[in-house]
Structure 1
Amino acid sequence: MTTPLASSPPSLSLIGANPALLWGMTNAERLARLARAEGMTADPEATDARLHVNLDYVFDPVWLRHVLASPGMVVMDGDALVMAHLPRSIAPSTDQIAAHRATLTIIDYRDGPLIYNRQLRKLDCPFIQRLTPATRREIERRSYFGAYKGVTDLLTKYLWPELALVLTRIAAQLRMTPNMVSVIGVTLCLLATWLFAQGMYWTGFLSGFIFMVLDTVDGKLARCTITSSKWGNVIDHGVDLVHPPFWWYFWGTGLAYWGLALSTRTFALVMAAVIAGYVLQRLIEGMFLKDFGMDIHVWQRFDSQFRLITARRNPNMVILFVSLLFGRPDIGLIALAWWTVISLIVHAVRLAQAYAVKRSGQPIVSWMEQARP
């Protein structure tokens, strides 16, 4: 049972001091950024509740959101207090917590509690760890991988996480903002588009590959340093949404430089499949999110597994890369078109199945939420 508190966010109350740095900032600075992002205040008189946080500990931001949404929740690491969402009348001491135990929800991190992170589409036990100079790099690594989506494509998940981690650390040390990284990435994205149009596929691939890695770096840098911004998200997601069809179109026009230009009819059919398929898949994803309140890729395990290879930019680039190895970029583009159509059919069937389940009166719930104990 939890203690009823005011609906407004609690004020932030920091316990102790810790000079150790994480991603170039102190734990107090990191928590202040997290608090601002959640609409919290540092004024203890502004609310009737407090979120007490032990500065000896660093934790995944999902813990903060979880505890904020759960008045009366106390998170422990064995006998040590990590954080507690308490009314003003209860002090964050062992004695006080023990005295009010019946009205509090006490979680011990060592029991491995699972939390569903809807934003990052994953179910896991987010990290909590003591911050010292000796544990800093380990914690940075854990916070970096904690910012990864649980459901994404195979390249983002398996190919370049370690490379992106190194680049994220470098960017943080150089005091670069996520928007700076995004600008570099967008420039390389445009360069890749031009190179594809000129038939310079290998050079374009290099430019596109660096852009795709930086597309991971800017998001991880924003989450790890708590520097997300509205316009940064607009630029990042806007470019991600718009550029893929342009890559495929100019890949097609660049075939002329290889003497492999598609016929007018074939090129039109390929572009119709690629562009219409891409747009319709995005619309299906939007319809699923609107009607069922969650991403289509987290409905059932199959959907999460299919997200690894579905016809998005990164899996499509694998198809084109293999075709280049065999010197047939034309066949690669045709294969990309077929894979887009197949992926579209899969998503359309899944959407129809979801509507059928809804009509039968059964709830549409993510398999990750169902897996929680």
Structure 2
Amino acid sequence: MAGEPVAGLEVQGSAKGRIYGITPAERLRRQVASRSPSMADCRLVADAGCILSDVTLDWMIANPGIVVKSPIGDAAAVVVDGGSEIDLASLRDDSGCAELGLRRASDADLSAMYNRKLRRQQDGLVLDVDAMPVAAAEWRLFKDVYKGITDIVTRYVWPVPAFWLVRLLSRIGVTPNAVTMTSIVLTFVTAYLFFEGMIGEGLILAWTMTFLDTVDGKLARVTCTSSPFGNKLDHIPDLVHPPVWWGCLAYGLLRDSADHALIVGSAVVIVGSYVVGRLVEVGFKKVYGFNQYMWQPFDQYLRLIIARRNTILAIMTVGLILGQPVAGFVLAAVWSVLTIGIQPIRFIQAWGMARGGSAPTPWIQ
């Protein structure tokens, strides 16, 4: 319930601004509530206008007694033991901190933190909602929650439109799960349109679904409303629907083409490659403990262009624009073999390194 007190949080002062439709204090409340086990014996003392990224808060919990500063140098927040009395106004300089056995965080303290969920390194983020334009603060926070390893469309095309939609949805109270449910409905409608041979209409809805698939996670992170159920609701359909789409797309293409063997063969290659790629990813993580695309820079670049959903949609869109949807489908099959075929090769290379006594480690950590 919004505004309900939560153990482990003390907010001092007041703030006028709101970020993504909620006050910074409510955002802090949600963050602390989701970390209740790790904050059983400590307390976050924060200014009412303070905005902390998740990776910053996690670092503070692991390093109690270090005061993080706002962009203008004021004491923004500190994690202390449960019984400590702290007045943030008295922590404006090093001497005020030293009197209480605290210290102010340096830039080095909050640099190059690893975010496992987002698969990237990022600097700690501390903002003051009243010290900068709200849109600027929201953009900084939005960029902070964006995944580092993803496909080329999600990384370079979706960020700006997704930011503006996330801003709108957060203000009118639309939940991330509602966005996810909408994208799931679009998934089924897209499959039907592909099956019926309505390729253009299907591609329009497919792109809409993939866009919403980006929006729901960002909306959850910036409003601190992520949940295990929402995560499963978002990711399980993502694993299942691509091969369903490609099978329906193949059937739809068969309606208006005599190249039956070519279309069916391409569908088998695309779906088969997808399954192989997913299995290699699961196997790599099970053996070495991290996602395959995090191993070396090459693997991260491969993820940008590998034949996954958005890449195949892009190839099909170009094919349809050129009036050659079947050729686009065949090209998607060729691209699947060329790119996904690299994954088992990389797995073998990692295995060879491990056999030689040099266990693979992620370059991003």
Contact between 1:21 and 1:133, CA under 8 Å: does it hold in 2? no
Pick closer, same or farther for the CA change 1:47–1:166 going to 2, 3 Å.
closer
Matched, 1:83 2:62: no
Letter in 1 for 2:55: V
Structure 1, unpaired ranges of 5+: 1-9
Report what 1:280 is aligned to: 276
| Residue equivalent to 2:112 | 114
Report deviation, 1:285: 0.9
Mapped partners of 1:195, 1:21: distance in 2 = 42
Assess if the C-alpha contact under 8 Å between 2:8 and 2:36 holds in 1.
Answer: no
Q: Where in structure 2 are the equivalents of 1:1-373 lying within 5 Å?
A: 11-39=8-36, 47-77=40-70, 79-87=73-81, 88-89=83-84, 91=86, 93-94=90-91, 95=95, 97-99=97-99, 106-109=104-107, 113-132=111-130, 135-263=133-261, 266-369=262-365
Instruction: For 1:333 and 1:20, locate their aligned partners in 2 and report how far apart those are by CA, in whole Å.
Output: 50
Say which SS state the counterpart of residue 268 (structure 2) adopts.
helix
* Contact 1:14-1:53 within 8 A present in 2 as well: yes
Listed as ranges, the gaps of 5+ residues in structure 2 are 1-6
CA distance in 1, matches of 2:339, 2:178: 34
CA contact (8 A) 1:310 1:343 kept: yes
Judged with a 3 Å threshold, the aligned counterparts in structure 2 of structure 1 residues 111 and 293 are, in CA distance, closer, same or farther, namely closer
Code of the aligned partner of 1:215:
D
TM-score by length of 2: 0.89
Contact 1:319 1:336 in 2 (8 A): yes
Identity %: 33
Shift in Å, 1:151:
1.0
Structure 1 pair 360/74, CA: closer, same or farther in 2 (3 Å)?
farther
Task: Kindly provide the amino acid, as one letter, of the partner of residue 76 in structure 2.
Answer: V
Partner of 2:3: none
Q: Say if 2:180 and 2:234, in contact at 8 Å, map to a contact too.
A: yes
| Cα deviations by residue, 1:117-156 (Å, 9 ceiling, x for unpaired) | 1110111214322112852111111111211101110101
What's the offset of the Cα at 1:111? Answer: 8.1
Deviation sequence 1:147-181 (CA, Å, 0-9, x none) = 11011101011112111112112211221111111
CA distance in 2, matches of 1:122, 1:280: 25
Q: Is the 1:248–1:333 contact (alpha carbons within 8 Å) kept by the matching residues of 2?
A: no
For residues 185-239 of structure 1, what are the alpha-carbon distances to aligned partners after superposition, in whole Å with 9 as ceiling and x for unaligned?
1111211111111221111111111111111111111111111122221121011
Deviation at 1:270, TM superposition (A): 2.4
Between the aligned partners of 2:44 and 2:96, the Cα distance in structure 1 is: 15
Provide the aligned C-alpha RMSD in A.
Answer: 2.4
Higher mean alpha-carbon deviation, 213-222 vs 127-136, is at 127-136
Contact 2:193 2:202 in 1 (8 A): yes
Question: What is the CA distance between 1:259 and its match in structure 2?
Answer: 2.7
Q: Matched residue pairs, number?
A: 353
Question: Is the contact between residue 114 and residue 120 of structure 2 (CA under 8 Å) also seen in structure 1?
Answer: yes
- Decide whether the 8 Å contact of 2:319 with 2:327 is kept in 1: yes
Single out whichever of 332-341 and 203-212 deviates more from structure 2. 332-341
Measured at CA, do residues 134 and 125 of structure 1 come closer, stay the same or move farther in structure 2, by a change above 3 Å? closer
Q: Work out the CA distance in 1 between the residues paired with 2:221 and 2:42.
A: 26
**Per the alignment, do residues 334 and 47 of structure 1 end up closer, same or farther by CA in structure 2, a change over 3 Å counting?**
closer
1:76 and 1:109 in contact (8 A); partners too: no
Could you tell me which residue of structure 2 aligns to residue 5 of structure 1?
none
